[in-house]
Amino acid sequence: MKQEIKPATGRLGVLVVGVGGAVATTMITGTLASRKGLAKPIGSIAQLATMRMENNEEKLIKDIVPLADLNDIVFGGWDIFPDNAYEAAMYAEVLKEKDLKGVKEELEAIKPMPAAFDHSWAKRLNGTHIKKAATRWEMVEQLRQDIRDFKAANNCERIAVLWAASTEIYIPLSDEHKSLAALEKAMKEDNKTVISPSMCYAYAAIAEGAPFIMGAPNLCVDTPAMWEFSKKMNVPISGKDFKSGQTLMKTVLAPMFKTRMLGVNGWFSTNILGNRDGEVLDDPDNFKTKEVSKLSVIDTIFEPEKYPDLYGDVYHKVRINYYPPRKDNKEAWDNIDIFGWMGYPMEIKVNFLCRDSILAAPIALDLVLFSDLALRAGMSGIQTWLSFFCKSPMHDFEHQPEHDLFTQWRMVKQTLRNMIGEKEPDYLA
């Protein structure tokens, strides 16, 4: 049945946590350049991908559902450093100066608000542009005021909040995360050991009716408390961790092995990365958060309990090494030991020389545009259909996450078809 979708009228404010980071400045620059005709939004599903309709006609997704126009987006956000977006992009060295020059004035106008930051959650970062708050609850209140002020000052009709900051230290789910009442109590009692800065941003966004997107593997919105709150406030939430490089390859290769019924003995993955994210992940406590996110992928795809002969004893190891000379240009190596007919072994080697922020930027933009669409379509809670963009898709306790990239892509199209009352085309017709 066709959903009632409010039109994308007025301005959409996109507030980015870590607005001066490599991913954020790359996304913002590319969006500004695209709307001035200086670049193409390559990698953006929302801008470039097509879908086949029930009558077998191919249409651009942005012509099928009412997405916010790039010209109507206003960028802002928070950062632990005071540099404007142009200065931050120059520092990140992802994009060349000639590509920044065409939108320099717009980038210089994007100045970060002081960030809600706690050094103990990211020990390798030493931010100077930070809020002073007596408790986590006060931190939330300050963030809520920031959202309201930005919305009014920029005449925005809607807001979306995107986490594009660093990975926080690993913490397991605790009692304080299991209900909204328990979460709010912990915030008011200033329980800094279980309430992370990212949870403050998420709570503030949801409280202000803004979709929240988690672009890192932090324990944040993937808790019963946040599910409850997002449902109560009728706000969509999505995440977690942008699926950009090595894990993207895994979600393509692992389904291929499974579809062909080829066995896997081992999968060793290692990376070198030199940007700020790599520096943060050099701390074992922060790497643990990323490791849990990356390790969950192939187990879920392979279903070893169903195929024990093929995947019952896969040795899976993931490593990330901080290597400053590479900056944002990450290099990933995968060694995969597979076996086939009569158990004969084979090997696959993958060497992916990727640009971390170039791959993540369109994902960040798409998650913002689709989350805003979900809000206007009256959708709330976990947006399972946005798993396509995420390394460790959010899910509740009753469901397993879907990691197969092609199944995830079908989920995107099925959700969009449902919004407009369309059925899947008959490909045999």
Judgement on whether residues 323 and 385 belong to the same structural domain of the protein:
no
Helix (H) or strand (E) holding 60: strand 58-60
Q: For strand 212-214 and strand 236-239, is the pairing parallel, antiparallel, or unpaired?
A: parallel
User: What is the model's pLDDT at position 286?
Assistant: 78
Give pLDDT tens digits along the chain (429 positions). 678 999 999 999 999 999 999 999 999 999 999 999 999 999 999 999 999 999 989 999 999 999 999 999 999 999 999 999 999 999 999 999 999 999 999 999 999 999 999 999 998 888 899 999 999 999 999 999 999 999 999 999 999 999 999 999 999 999 999 999 999 999 999 999 999 999 999 999 999 999 999 999 999 999 999 999 999 999 999 999 999 889 999 999 999 999 999 999 999 999 998 877 777 777 777 777 667 766 678 888 999 999 999 999 999 999 989 999 988 898 999 999 999 999 999 999 999 999 999 999 999 999 999 999 999 999 999 999 999 999 999 988 888 889 999 999 999 999 999 999 999 888 765
Judgement on whether residues 35 and 97 belong to the same structural domain of the protein:
yes
**Side chain identity at residue 108, one-letter code:** E
CATH number for the domain including 224?
A: 3.40.50.720
Q: Is residue 137 assigned to a domain?
A: yes
Query: Within 13 A of 212's CA, how many CA atoms are on the CB side?
Result: 32
The model carries a pTM of 0.94
Please give the backbone phi and psi of residue 281, each rounded to the nearest 5 degrees, phi first.
Answer: -70, -10
Whether residue 294 has a cis bond before it, omega within 30° of 0:
no
Quick one: which of 239, 271, 263, 255 has its CA closest to 354? 271
Q: Is residue 428 assigned to a domain?
A: no
Q: Is residue 426 assigned to a domain?
A: no
Judgement on whether residues 186 and 288 belong to the same structural domain of the protein:
no
SS3 180: helix
Beta-strand runs (E) in 220-312 = 236-239, 263-273
The count of other CB atoms within 10 Å of the CB of residue 339 is 14
User: What is the model's pLDDT at position 294?
Assistant: 64
The count of other CB atoms within 10 Å of the CB of residue 10 is 12
If 0-12 CB within 10 Å is exposed, 13-18 middle and 19+ buried, where does residue 49 land? middle
Q: At which of 353, 373, 408 does a domain end?
A: 353
With b meaning 16 or more CB within 10 Å and e meaning fewer, what string describes 204-230? Answer: bbbbbebbbbbbbbbbbbbbbbbbbbb
Judgement on whether residues 275 and 292 belong to the same structural domain of the protein:
yes
User: Radius of gyration over alpha carbons of the chain, in Å?
Assistant: 21
Q: At which of 353, 384, 404 does a domain end?
A: 353
Judgement on whether residues 68 and 161 belong to the same structural domain of the protein:
yes
Q: Is residue 4 assigned to a domain?
A: no
User: What is the model's pLDDT at position 283?
Assistant: 76
Q: Is residue 397 assigned to a domain?
A: yes
* Spatial contact of 190 and 137, defined as CB atoms under 8 Å apart: yes
Q: At which of 336, 353, 370 does a domain end?
A: 353
Say how many domains are in the chain. 2
Judgement on whether residues 75 and 213 belong to the same structural domain of the protein:
yes
Judgement on whether residues 261 and 397 belong to the same structural domain of the protein:
no
Judgement on whether residues 139 and 181 belong to the same structural domain of the protein:
yes
Judgement on whether residues 201 and 287 belong to the same structural domain of the protein:
no
Distance CA(14)–CA(25), nearest Å, equals 13
Judgement on whether residues 285 and 301 belong to the same structural domain of the protein:
yes
Q: Is residue 117 assigned to a domain?
A: yes
Q: Is residue 427 assigned to a domain?
A: no
Q: Which domain holds residue 236?
A: 11-242+357-420
Q: Is residue 95 assigned to a domain?
A: yes
User: What is the model's pLDDT at position 228?
Assistant: 98
User: What is the model's pLDDT at position 275?
Assistant: 77
CATH number for the domain including 261?
A: 3.30.360.10
Instruction: Summarize pLDDT for 167-210 with one digit per residue, the tens.
Output: 999 999 999 999 999 999 999 999 999 999 999 999 999 999 99
Instruction: Summarize pLDDT for 294-341 with one digit per residue, the tens.
Output: 667 888 899 999 999 999 999 999 998 999 998 889 899 999 999 999
Per the structure block, which two tokens stand in for 48? 């470039």
Judgement on whether residues 291 and 331 belong to the same structural domain of the protein:
yes
User: What is the model's pLDDT at position 429?
Assistant: 58
Judgement on whether residues 337 and 214 belong to the same structural domain of the protein:
no
Distance CA(193)–CA(22), nearest Å, equals 28
One-letter-per-residue 3-state SS of 44-58 = CHHHHCEEECCCCCE
The separation between the first and the last C-alpha atoms of the chain, rounded to the nearest angstrom, is: 23
Distance CA(126)–CA(57), nearest Å, equals 53
